[in-house]
Each structure stands twice: as structure tokens, then as C-alpha cells.
Amino acid sequence: MDANEGLRIPGGRTGLVRTVVDGLAACDAVGVLLVGEEGIGKTAITRRVSHELAAVRVIPVRGGTGLRTIPYGALSRYLVGLAPEDAGSASAVLRHFLRHITPELKAQAPPVILVDDAHALDNESALLIMQLATARKVRILATARQVPGPVGEFARAAKDGLLAHHAVEPLTLPDVRELCAQVLGGPVLTGTARMLAATTRGNPLLLTMLLEQFRDEGYIVPRNGVWRARGLRPAVGAPLADLLLHGLGERSRAELDALESVAVGEPIPLASLEAAVERGVLARLAQERLIEIDAGHGQLVSLRHPLHAEALRGRIPAVRALERAGTAGSRTPGDPEGLAAWVASALRAPLPVADDVLLRSARVANRFHDQRLALDALTAVQDPAPTPSYLLETAWMQGAAGNHRLARELLDEALRSVEDPTVARDGAALSLSLYRHVPDGGRALHADVERWAGLLEDGTAHSDSGPRTREAAGAAVRLLRTAVGTLGGDLRGAQALEETPVDPDLPGEVRLGHHTLLAHALTRSGRPLAASAVLDEARSVLGEDPEHLLTYRDAVSGEHLLALVGAGAWDAARDCFHRCYPPEAEHAFLLSGWLDVIDGARSLQTGRFSDAREHLLLAVEAFRDSDGLHLIDRVSGAAAYACARAGDAAGARALIDAHGATTHGSDAVARRMGDAHVAAADGYLGAEDAVGRLRSIAARAEGRGALLVAATALDHAAELGDRTALGPLAAVTRAFDGEPGSCLHRFAAAAADGDRDALVVESEASRRRGYLPLAVRCLEEASLVGPAGAAARGVDRQLAALRTELRAVPGGSTVPSVHEALLTRGEQVIVKLVAEGHTNREIAEIRGISTRTVEGHLYRIFAKLGISRREVLQQPAAVRTSAPRRPTR
């Protein structure tokens, strides 16, 4: 074992360690007090602090519940040989203790008395230690739990400022990821880390025990070098349950009864709990942070720690569970979350639940990605004949578990005789989710969509429905067929929806489909701000009938996230994700790959290519399991590009080689976007045809309305040296909104016009926004414009400084840009003049140098670019031909 393994703590806590070390050296306090819940990592911090205090002697003292009533019980190891008649004399005890630690007192620095569990320290020991500390004989480093808190003497010293008080907070998500990587020996998916953080509330001890259990039981497994949670989460193991319940052993019977009632029925309305439990009991449990009351949701009571609830439920006999369930009283769930919680608590009791309610709850659970509740609800259905709804929800659950072929078979069975358009609609939604996982998934999707359309059309044709009903059905069918075309990559039909505002009197389902499709097209045509505004309307429609429209929730949320990412609103995107999928929603971890997409996009924009690589590789792994918008090829392509820019040639090549095998997995626009990123990555690895591929992708995408794909391909082509792409790029991005798109347009327009001043201005504006790669490119283009002179030298100086700044960015790239890596500014100007058709003599006259000097420059340019003929420089992609010889240091 590594000698330093016991000293490892998450990086987020190194600051606290430094603060404690400094606090022990400060002269305005006698020591430091660390306070936090059991298992929060106080001991690990003190161990690391002791290591940092290598030249200072540490005297360990430990409190204990059994010793708290014994005077000087915590110091007993240092009082061996004390005469029995002196045991009650404070001065005799002090003298004996001082004699025992005399060697430490003679050291240059005062020793540190390390008091572990100061909440269980006897008063006499605490007083003696404080006396020594106030006399400057020793320093104190103490730990205590929040409840009941440090012993009185230490509490008063902390209040008076003699002991510097620091709360040890739960681990943050990055800290949880780091600790998981330490325990598992490799990186963990962000979603899995997020689930573990929520389940353990960031408690390192619980996290470590849970990780080890989940790894041993095969719930957390590695794939492609990344650890992830798979399937249904197993119950808490016996060792962890014993640890969790050990702390409840001293609770009164009334308190335990209340805790069991909450565990069985949570969340419980406070009013129902107060009717069965004494108010004083609830007050104590709340004060000691064992229960919490959600004031924003009808005063609902839950156990503060989810694992406590699980451990308690596992130890409650069935008969007593039924009794406890009665405490919750009867309530009618009025929203999807309430319905799911109510059915879950009823099934835990267990109480009888009607089949129709069970099927509703299974539907809700599936849309909330709660496989456990969906399975429990479907298992409890009593009807022996499986209905289409039952088969559909079973198929949905199997699809979420990764059993795609079985899910497709169940879905086909469910839709074989379906007559309810609502079931057919949900079936089409599941078909969309499955189509990239099963053979002929696209053909099955088209058939399922046509079945839904047929049911809608038949329903209006064979009934006495009025014109509004027929209009609604017709609008729904048109939207369905537009959606199929959009999936095939033609955005023009969806873009036309902007010119035909949706009738507010149409059903919410139709309006929601209209808004989502339009936003889909707007984002992919470079107008993410417009898409975000449309999706704000869609979210309000979702709120009109949350349960009925629940199937659309993930699509609306995903499109909103994509729009915010495209607009460069990174923080707003993260806030949106946490609102849609809060950490306490345990099974939402399946969608947490979005967090890495957000961070990866931001890192690419700001030049932190190594960080972008890390995040996007995690996103690829997450989207293999859950990809509601079918973006896997787009994300995978972006990851390949990030790898290439970060200098990870092997990682980029692996993703490039795998790209062709996954292109059936995304919609057509996402495939083309992935193709553009992959071509650019290939260019950075030396592929000679990269620019040609990018120009071809751009032309096809522009013709089908996918302007964002066209702009991305043209931008990559220009980045690789094809300056003829700048004019088309400026034209394609003219209507782009959002900060990244607008910045890109201004850069391309200024570069295409040869406007050096505008490029310098845009470079500084991009730098202020943090878009350092674009800022560098602006100055690179500016360096190629205009005559040599003071202005040109000023641009060169700014460019050199900006390149240095970009290289210094944490997580930045070690791979230089095309212009920086290969050609000097003077060589770039000569290439430009050759491309314009000037002879060597004309170039010499323009540059004010000799013809022989021009020839020497051309010799070096040919060598750097790996070419042998002047004509190559006169081709549109002249500078691009340098790619094969780009250094990858």
C-alpha cells in the first residue's frame, strides 16, 4: 500500500487543511475546532494536518461515551502510576500529566493535543487541556459532531474566539468524483458520482462503504475505462445498515417510532405526523437533524439522510410497517411526483393499490427514470391479462435497463391491437428512444408514427367530433410527419413553423409538439436564443397537464439545454439541468451526461482543450446509455476534436475510427455535426482530405437548413488554413444569435473583408469573454492583412502575448495552431501573395526585399508544408496542406 494512501483527501479539502495548519500557528487563538457529522472526514483532515506538522509533536486524546462520566477518563493513558488518593486532585493530575509529556514540552514548538470526539470528552479533561492551552503550553486540534456538539469548555472557548471554529462540510460533486476515482482506481461517470453524492449526502465514510459494496455486487462496473452504475440499485448491505442504525441506538422509543413512521411513509405531511407523534418528539428530531421538513411542498417530512430511511425500512417487520403506514394518513396525490411518492410508500407498507393507479404510477416512474418503482408497480398489478398500457410500460422499463430487443418485442405486442391514441403516442416516443439500438429501428419508428397518425385520423373520421377536434388531430398528424422529416436531417419543414404561430386553443400536446420541433430547428440553424424563448413557452405548456404531457419532459429539457449551450449560457444551462433533474431525484443520474456536455462545450470555447477532452469523453460514455435527443455522434465527434486539440492523438484516432460504426445512432443533423468534428480532428492528425470533406459537409448541410452544421464545418476548414472558407462562413452565420455565434460571424466577416482594425477589436472582445482560441485566430488573420510596419509589428506583439496566455490556460492545449506551428508571419504573407498570383519579383517589390530572399523564404515554406511545386500554394486550401506535418508535441 502507498505510504501516503491514508493521508489522501479530496482536493477540495486541501484549502481547509492549510487553514487549520495556519490556525495552529496563529497567536490569536489556542487551537482549532473541527465540527461535522459522523463520517464526514474530520479524522482524515486531522491525520493530514498532523502530517503537515512534521516538526510538531502530536499528543492524541480521544473522548468516548463510556468515559464521559469518569473524571479525566480521556487522559487515563497518560495517568498511569497516579496515586489513587491524588485522582481527585486537579493539581496532582495536572502535575502527573505534565511529567508524562515533558519531552514534548521541551520541543521548539508547543505540542498539539489532538482531541478526537470532543463531544464525548469528560468535563475535567476538557478543563485541564484548556488550562494548558491558555497558558501557551500546548495547542489544541479538536474534532466534534454537530450534535450534541463539543463539550461545554470547548464550546465556550470557540464562542469566545479562543478556538478557531471550522465546519467540515459534505463533499462537493468534484470531491465525490475524486474520492470515487481513488476507491475504484479509475474515473466515474458524472451521473454516477452525482447519484452517490445525493445518496450519501457527501459523507466520505458512507460513500466509501457504499462504493465498495456496489463494486462487489456488480452494480458499479467499468466500461471503456469508466465506472458507471447499471441496473437497479441494490439494498444497503448489512455492515453499512448496522453503522447507520448504531447511532440511533440511544433514541427513546417514541423517537424511534416517529423515525420508523417517516421511513415507511416518507414524505409524510407534517399535519398527519403531528396527529400521531408528540410535538416535542418531532422538535427534538428536527433540532438534531434527523428529519427535515420541506416547507415549499406542503410541509412534507422526510428523514434527512436517505440511507437512514433505507436502513430503517430494512429492519422493520411487515406487521409494524403496516402500523407505521397508518401514521401517514390518507391523501390524494395531485401531481406526478406526489403520485409516485404515494404509490412507493403504499407498496413499501404494503397497502393495496388499484390497478389503474399502479399503471399510472408505472408510467410516471418510467418517465422519471425510476426503474425500481416501475418494476414494483407493474409487479403489483392484479389483472392477469396484460393490457397495451401494461405491455408498453414494461417495454419502457426494459428499454431503460438496456434490454432493447426485449423492449422492442414488448412494444410491438403493445401496439399490435392498440386503439388508444395516447398509448400509441407514448409507444412512438419509446420507438424513437429504441430506434438506434435495434435492427431496422428506423423502419419500425416510421411504422409506429404512422400508426399513431392513423388512430388520430380514424378517431375524427368515425366520430361526431367537431371542427376543433378535427383541426387538432390534423395538426398533430402534420407535426408527426414534420418530425420524421426533421429526424432525416431536413430542417426546412420545422423552420416553417416559425411563420405559422400555433393556435393557443389547440390541445397542449399539439402546442408542445409545435414548440419543441421549432426550437429543434432554430437551435440547429444557429439561433439558440430564439429557440430558448420558444422553449420557455413549451415549459409553461408542460405545466398545464404535468402527468399527461410527462412523456415530452425530457425532450423539452434536452432541447432547452442544447439551446443554452449553443448560446454560450453555460451557467444558465447548469441551472436549468439542476431544476429539471435535482440531485435528490436519484434516478436522474442517467441524464447527467448533460453536465459534461455543458462543461465540455465551455472548455472548447475557452481553449481548455484537455478539460474539454475529459468532459466530452465522459459525456460519450453517458450518452451510450441515455441519449434522448440522439446526439451520440455529435458528442463523440466533439470528443475526437477535443482529443486532437489536447494532443491525445491515440484517443482522437480511436474515436475517429469508431465514428463510422455509430452513425446509425443519431438523427441526421447530429451525424453531420459529428462528421464535421471528426474531419477537423482528422485534419489535426494530418489527413490531407480534411478540408475537402469539411467543405462538402458544409454545402450539404446548408442546402437542408442545418446552418449550424455548415458553420461548424466552414469554421473548422478556416481553422485548418482554408481562408476561402471565411466568406461563406460570414454569410452562413449572418443571422446567428447567441454570443458564440455572433462572435464567430464578426470574426469571419472581418477576416473575409481584410479589415485588420475590426479583427484587432474583435480579438480583444473575444479575449474579454474568455474565448481565447477565437481571439488568437482574429490576430492571426490580422497579421496577414495590410502592409508591414508599426501596426503589423503591434499585431505580432499582441499575438505572441495572446498565444502565451492561451498556453497558460489551465487544461489548455499543448498543440500549437496551424499558423504558429508552421509558418512565420512573413512566410504567411508570402504564401498569401503567391496564392494571389504574384511572381517572385512582384513579391520582392511589395515586401521591399530582394528576389533571392523571396526564393529563400519559398524554399523554407516548401520544406515546412511538405510540397515541391509553387502551384500548390495557388490552390484554395494552400495553407491547409501544412496539416500533415503539424507537430504534436
Query: Mean pLDDT: which of 231-240, 286-295, 752-761, 783-792 is highest?
Result: 752-761
Q: Quick one: which H or E segment has residue 541?
A: helix 528-542
Task: Please give the pLDDT value at position 6.
Answer: 55
- On whether the CB atoms of residues 811 and 858 are closer than 8 A, the answer is no
Q: CA 21, CA 52: separation in Å to the nearest integer?
A: 7
Looking at residue 77, its amino acid is R
Q: Look at 33-42, 242-251, 334-343, 820-829 and tell me which has the smallest mean pLDDT.
A: 820-829
Write down the pLDDT at residue 428.
Answer: 85
- pLDDT score, position 884: 36
Q: How many CB atoms lie within 10 A of CB 880?
A: 26
Q: Establish whether the linkage from the previous residue to 267 is cis, with ω within 30° of 0.
A: yes
Measure the CA–CA gap between 519 and 512, rounded to whole angstroms: 11
Long-range contacts of 290-297 (CB under 8 A, 24+ apart): 290/259, 291/258, 291/259, 291/262, 294/267, 297/267
**Position of cell 485548418?**
720
User: Which residues make Cβ contacts (< 8 Å) with residue 551, sequence separation at least 6?
Assistant: 367, 425, 426, 429
What's the rounded Cα separation, in Å, for the pair 571 and 569? 6
Cell of 547: 402527468
Instruction: Cite the beta strand spans of 31-121 per DSSP E.
Output: 31-35, 58-62, 112-116
Q: Are 780 and 819 in contact (CB under 8 A)?
A: yes
Nearest CA among 747, 766, 769 for reference residue 758: 747
R_g of the chain computed on alpha carbons: 33
| Type and span of the H or E element at 445 | helix 441-461
* 882 grid coordinates: 501544412
Residue 269 confidence (pLDDT) = 80
Q: How does residue 382 score in pLDDT terms, banded at 50, 70 and 90?
A: very high
Q: Are 349 and 357 contacting, i.e. CB atoms less than 8 angstroms apart?
A: no
Q: Can you give the pLDDT at residue 758?
A: 94
Instruction: Give the best-scoring range by mean pLDDT among 53-62, 248-257, 324-333, 597-606.
Output: 597-606
Contact 412, 441 (CB under 8 A): no
Give kind and range of the element (H or E) at residue 746.
helix 739-753
pLDDT in tens, 850-865: 787 787 778 667 766 6
The angle, 0 to 180 degrees and rounded to 10, between the axes of the packed helices 632-646 and 609-625 is 150
> CB-based contacts of 512: which residues, under 8 Å, 6+ apart?
538, 541, 542, 549, 552, 556
Q: Are 170 and 559 a contacting pair, CB within 8 Å?
A: no
How many helices (DSSP H) and strands (DSSP E) are in the chain?
A: 44, 10
Q: In this predicted model, what pLDDT tens digit does every residue of 822-851 receive, in sequence order?
A: 566 677 778 878 887 888 888 888 777 778
What is the C-alpha to C-alpha distance for residues 558 and 556, in angstroms, rounded to an integer?
6
What confidence tier does 709 reach under pLDDT thresholds 50, 70, 90?
A: very high
**pLDDT-derived band at 313, boundaries 50, 70, 90:** confident
Closest to 631 in 3D by CA, of 640, 641, 620: 620
Q: Using 50, 70 and 90 to split pLDDT, how confident is the model at 802?
A: confident
What average pLDDT does the chain have?
84
The cell numbers describing 99, all together, are: 511529567
- Of 71-85, 175-189, 333-347, 422-436, the range with the highest mean pLDDT is 175-189
In which band, very low, low, confident or very high, does the pLDDT at 280 lie, cut at 50, 70 and 90? Answer: confident
Indicate the pLDDT class of residue 716, thresholds 50, 70 and 90.
very high
| Residue 32 φ/ψ, nearest 5 degrees | -130, 140
How much of the chain, in percent, has pLDDT values that exceed 70? Answer: 90
C-alpha 811, offset from chain centre? 18
The segment with the largest mean pLDDT, out of 104-113, 347-356, 874-883, is 347-356
* Whether 96 contacts 79, CB under 8 Å: yes
Look at residues 226, 601, 550, 84 and name the one whose alpha carbon lies nearest to residue 362: 550
What digits encode the pLDDT tens for the residues 592-615? 899 999 999 999 999 999 999 999
CA distances in angstroms from 732 to 222, 526, 530, 680, 871, listed in the order given: 43, 9, 17, 19, 30
Q: What is residue 188's predicted lDDT score, i.e. its pLDDT?
A: 94
Kindly indicate the confidence band of residue 885, based on its pLDDT and cuts at 50, 70 and 90: very low
CA dist 211 and 70 (Å) reads 39
- Burial class of 550 by CB neighbour count within 10 A (0 to 12, 13 to 18, 19+): middle
Give 85's contacts (C-beta < 8 A, 6+ positions apart).
none
Q: Which pTM was predicted?
A: 0.83
Q: Is 136 exposed, middle or buried (0-12, 13-18, 19+ CB in 10 A)?
A: exposed
Position 807 pLDDT exceeds 90: no
Average pLDDT estimate for 327-342: 70
Instruction: Give phi and psi for 228, each to the nearest 5.
Output: -150, 155
Residues of the chain with pLDDT > 90, as a percent, come to 37
- What mean pLDDT do residues 385-393 have? 92
Q: What is the pLDDT of residue 459?
A: 66
Of 561, 526, 597, which is closest to residue 744 (Cα–Cα)? Answer: 526
- Reduced to 3 states, what is the DSSP secondary structure of residue 60? strand
What does the DSSP 8-state code read for residue 187? -
Q: How many residues does the chain have?
A: 889
What tens digit of pLDDT does each residue of 483-529 get?
878 877 888 888 888 888 888 888 888 899 889 999 999 999 999 99
The 3-class SS string of 568-598 reads CCHHHHHHHHHHHCCCCCHHHHHHCHHHHHH
